Protein backbone atom coordinates (compact mmCIF):
# COMPACT_ATOMS: atom_id res chain seq x y z
CA UNK A 1 0.00 0.00 0.00
CA UNK A 2 1.36 3.40 -0.95
CA UNK A 3 2.21 5.71 1.94
CA UNK A 4 -0.24 8.39 0.80
CA UNK A 5 -3.20 5.98 0.73
CA UNK A 6 -5.45 6.20 3.77
CA UNK A 7 -6.15 3.05 5.72
CA UNK A 8 -9.71 2.01 6.38
CA UNK A 9 -10.17 -0.65 9.01
CA UNK A 10 -12.89 -3.27 8.81
CA UNK A 11 -14.33 -5.89 11.12
CA UNK A 12 -15.61 -9.23 9.87
CA UNK A 13 -18.20 -11.14 11.88
CA UNK A 14 -19.60 -14.45 10.63
CA UNK A 15 -23.28 -13.93 11.42
CA UNK A 16 -24.04 -17.58 10.62
CA UNK A 17 -21.91 -18.57 13.62
CA UNK A 18 -23.22 -15.92 16.04
CA UNK A 19 -25.40 -17.59 18.67
CA UNK A 20 -26.15 -14.43 20.65
CA UNK A 21 -24.09 -15.64 23.63
CA UNK A 22 -22.83 -12.10 24.41
CA UNK A 23 -19.20 -13.29 24.70
CA UNK A 24 -18.15 -10.46 22.38
CA UNK A 25 -19.85 -7.94 24.69
CA UNK A 26 -18.01 -9.34 27.71
CA UNK A 27 -14.67 -9.44 25.86
CA UNK A 28 -15.14 -5.84 24.70
CA UNK A 29 -15.93 -4.72 28.23
CA UNK A 30 -12.81 -6.40 29.60
CA UNK A 31 -10.54 -5.14 26.81
CA UNK A 32 -11.77 -1.54 27.08
CA UNK A 33 -12.27 -1.17 30.86
CA UNK A 34 -16.03 -0.71 30.55
CA UNK A 35 -17.76 -0.94 33.93
CA UNK A 36 -20.24 -3.78 34.39
CA UNK A 37 -23.64 -2.67 35.62
CA UNK A 38 -26.21 -4.51 37.67
CA UNK A 39 -29.86 -5.23 36.97
CA UNK A 40 -31.01 -2.09 38.80
CA UNK A 41 -28.92 0.19 36.57
CA UNK A 42 -29.97 -1.64 33.40
CA UNK A 43 -33.62 -1.14 34.42
CA UNK A 44 -32.92 2.62 34.42
CA UNK A 45 -31.37 2.37 30.93
CA UNK A 46 -27.84 2.83 32.23
CA UNK A 47 -26.21 -0.25 30.77
CA UNK A 48 -22.63 0.28 29.62
CA UNK A 49 -21.78 -1.66 26.47
CA UNK A 50 -20.02 -0.63 23.30
CA UNK A 51 -21.45 -3.67 21.50
CA UNK A 52 -25.05 -4.81 21.64
CA UNK A 53 -26.34 -8.03 20.16
CA UNK A 54 -29.61 -7.48 18.35
CA UNK A 55 -31.99 -10.42 17.96
CA UNK A 56 -34.28 -10.84 14.98
CA UNK A 57 -36.76 -13.62 14.36
CA UNK A 58 -36.93 -15.14 10.89
CA UNK A 59 -39.18 -17.71 9.32
CA UNK A 60 -42.81 -18.65 9.74
CA UNK A 61 -44.34 -20.49 12.66
CA UNK A 62 -43.47 -23.23 13.59
CA UNK A 63 -40.11 -22.87 11.80
CA UNK A 64 -39.09 -19.64 13.54
CA UNK A 65 -35.43 -19.16 14.39
CA UNK A 66 -33.45 -16.31 15.93
CA UNK A 67 -30.81 -14.40 14.00
CA UNK A 68 -28.27 -12.34 15.91
CA UNK A 69 -26.45 -9.23 14.81
CA UNK A 70 -23.64 -7.72 16.92
CA UNK A 71 -23.91 -3.95 16.45
CA UNK A 72 -21.39 -1.27 17.37
CA UNK A 73 -20.07 2.05 16.12
CA UNK A 74 -19.74 1.88 12.33
CA UNK A 75 -16.86 4.41 12.28
CA UNK A 76 -18.69 6.55 9.72
CA UNK A 77 -16.56 8.52 7.28
CA UNK A 78 -18.84 11.55 7.56
CA UNK A 79 -20.21 10.84 11.03
CA UNK A 80 -23.37 12.71 12.05
CA UNK A 81 -22.27 12.50 15.70
CA UNK A 82 -19.18 14.68 15.17
CA UNK A 83 -20.45 18.14 14.14
CA UNK A 84 -23.03 18.40 16.93
CA UNK A 85 -20.53 18.30 19.81
CA UNK A 86 -20.16 21.85 21.19
CA UNK A 87 -16.64 21.19 22.53
CA UNK A 88 -15.36 19.06 19.61
CA UNK A 89 -14.92 15.96 21.77
CA UNK A 90 -16.22 13.75 18.98
CA UNK A 91 -13.70 13.93 16.14
CA UNK A 92 -12.43 11.97 13.17
CA UNK A 93 -8.89 10.60 13.44
CA UNK A 94 -7.09 11.05 10.14
CA UNK A 95 -4.36 8.61 11.15
CA UNK A 96 -6.58 5.63 11.96
CA UNK A 97 -9.61 6.73 9.91
CA UNK A 98 -11.95 6.11 12.84
CA UNK A 99 -14.22 8.26 14.97
CA UNK A 100 -12.72 8.97 18.36
CA UNK A 101 -14.04 10.46 21.56
CA UNK A 102 -11.71 12.84 23.41
CA UNK A 103 -12.78 11.95 26.94
CA UNK A 104 -10.98 14.76 28.76
CA UNK A 105 -12.72 17.28 26.49
CA UNK A 106 -16.24 15.77 26.72
CA UNK A 107 -18.79 17.58 28.89
CA UNK A 108 -21.53 14.96 28.49
CA UNK A 109 -24.21 16.87 26.57
CA UNK A 110 -25.23 13.63 24.79
CA UNK A 111 -25.85 15.44 21.52
CA UNK A 112 -23.61 12.91 19.79
CA UNK A 113 -25.77 10.03 21.06
CA UNK A 114 -28.90 11.75 19.79
CA UNK A 115 -27.34 12.08 16.33
CA UNK A 116 -25.89 8.56 16.07
CA UNK A 117 -28.03 6.48 13.67
CA UNK A 118 -26.57 3.23 15.08
CA UNK A 119 -27.31 3.93 18.77
CA UNK A 120 -23.63 3.23 19.40
CA UNK A 121 -22.82 5.80 22.09
CA UNK A 122 -23.36 5.41 25.81
CA UNK A 123 -23.27 7.85 28.67
CA UNK A 124 -21.02 6.95 31.59
CA UNK A 125 -23.13 7.21 34.75
CA UNK A 126 -20.47 5.67 37.00
CA UNK A 127 -17.24 6.42 38.77
CA UNK A 128 -15.11 3.39 38.05
CA UNK A 129 -14.03 2.07 41.43
CA UNK A 130 -12.58 -1.40 41.63
CA UNK A 131 -11.17 -2.76 44.86
CA UNK A 132 -7.85 -4.56 44.91
CA UNK A 133 -6.99 -7.14 43.63
CA UNK A 134 -9.65 -6.77 40.91
CA UNK A 135 -7.94 -3.61 39.63
CA UNK A 136 -5.24 -5.86 38.16
CA UNK A 137 -7.79 -6.88 35.52
CA UNK A 138 -7.86 -3.39 34.04
CA UNK A 139 -6.20 -3.06 30.65
CA UNK A 140 -3.26 -0.64 31.08
CA UNK A 141 -3.41 0.30 27.37
CA UNK A 142 -6.91 1.79 27.70
CA UNK A 143 -7.81 4.85 29.73
CA UNK A 144 -10.43 4.59 32.47
CA UNK A 145 -13.10 7.18 31.76
CA UNK A 146 -14.69 9.39 34.38
CA UNK A 147 -18.36 9.76 35.17
CA UNK A 148 -20.33 12.16 32.98
CA UNK A 149 -18.71 11.54 29.59
CA UNK A 150 -19.94 9.87 26.44
CA UNK A 151 -18.27 6.60 25.47
CA UNK A 152 -18.10 4.68 22.22
CA UNK A 153 -16.30 1.88 20.43
CA UNK A 154 -12.67 2.75 19.72
CA UNK A 155 -12.33 -0.10 17.21
CA UNK A 156 -9.70 -1.46 19.63
CA UNK A 157 -7.20 1.09 18.37
CA UNK A 158 -4.75 -0.12 21.03
CA UNK A 159 -4.65 -3.50 19.27
CA UNK A 160 -4.19 -1.85 15.89
CA UNK A 161 -1.25 0.18 17.26
CA UNK A 162 0.27 -2.96 18.78
CA UNK A 163 -0.10 -4.82 15.47
CA UNK A 164 1.55 -1.96 13.59
CA UNK A 165 4.41 -1.84 16.10
CA UNK A 166 5.05 -5.58 15.78
CA UNK A 167 4.93 -5.38 11.98
CA UNK A 168 7.35 -2.42 11.95
CA UNK A 169 9.76 -4.25 14.26
CA UNK A 170 9.68 -7.21 11.88
CA UNK A 171 10.28 -4.89 8.90
CA UNK A 172 6.96 -5.57 7.17
CA UNK A 173 3.62 -3.89 6.61
CA UNK A 174 0.57 -4.77 8.67
CA UNK A 175 -1.50 -7.10 6.52
CA UNK A 176 -5.16 -8.10 6.47
CA UNK A 177 -5.79 -10.42 9.39
CA UNK A 178 -2.84 -8.94 11.29
CA UNK A 179 -4.96 -7.65 14.15
CA UNK A 180 -6.86 -10.49 15.78
CA UNK A 181 -9.14 -10.59 18.79
Band of residue 131 on the pLDDT scale cut at 50, 70, 90: confident
Distance between CA atoms of residues 137 and 83, nearest Å: 35
Q: Is the pLDDT of residue 27 over 80?
A: yes
Nearest alpha-carbon partner for 152 in 77, 84, 43, 52:
52
Band of residue 180 on the pLDDT scale cut at 50, 70, 90: low
Mean pLDDT of the chain: 88
What number is the average pLDDT over the span 52-76? 93
Burial 86-117 (b: 16+ CB within 10 A, else e): eeebbeeeeebebbbbeeeebebeebbbebbe
Distance between CA atoms of residues 20 and 54, nearest Å: 8
Distance between CA atoms of residues 27 and 13, nearest Å: 15
Q: Is the pLDDT of residue 132 over 90?
A: no
Q: Is the pLDDT of residue 134 over 60?
A: yes
Q: Is the pLDDT of residue 178 over 70?
A: no
pLDDT of residue 55: 94
Q: Span 23-169: which CATH code?
A: 3.30.70.20
Global confidence as pTM: 0.83
pLDDT for 147-164, tens place per residue?
999 999 999 888 888 888
Distance between CA atoms of residues 144 and 15, nearest Å: 31
Band of residue 1 on the pLDDT scale cut at 50, 70, 90: very low
Distance between CA atoms of residues 152 and 72, nearest Å: 8
Q: pLDDT higher for 117 or 95?
A: 117
Domain ranges across the chain? 23-169
- Pairing between strand 52-58 and 65-71? antiparallel
Give yes or no for a cis peptide into 62 (omega within 30° of 0): yes
% of the chain surpassing 90 pLDDT: 55
Amino acid sequence: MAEQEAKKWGLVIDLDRCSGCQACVTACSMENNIPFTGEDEVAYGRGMHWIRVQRYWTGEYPEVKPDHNPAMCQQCGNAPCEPVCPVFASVHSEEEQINVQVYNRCIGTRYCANNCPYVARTFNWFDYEIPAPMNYYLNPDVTVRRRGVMEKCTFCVQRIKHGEDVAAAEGRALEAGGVMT
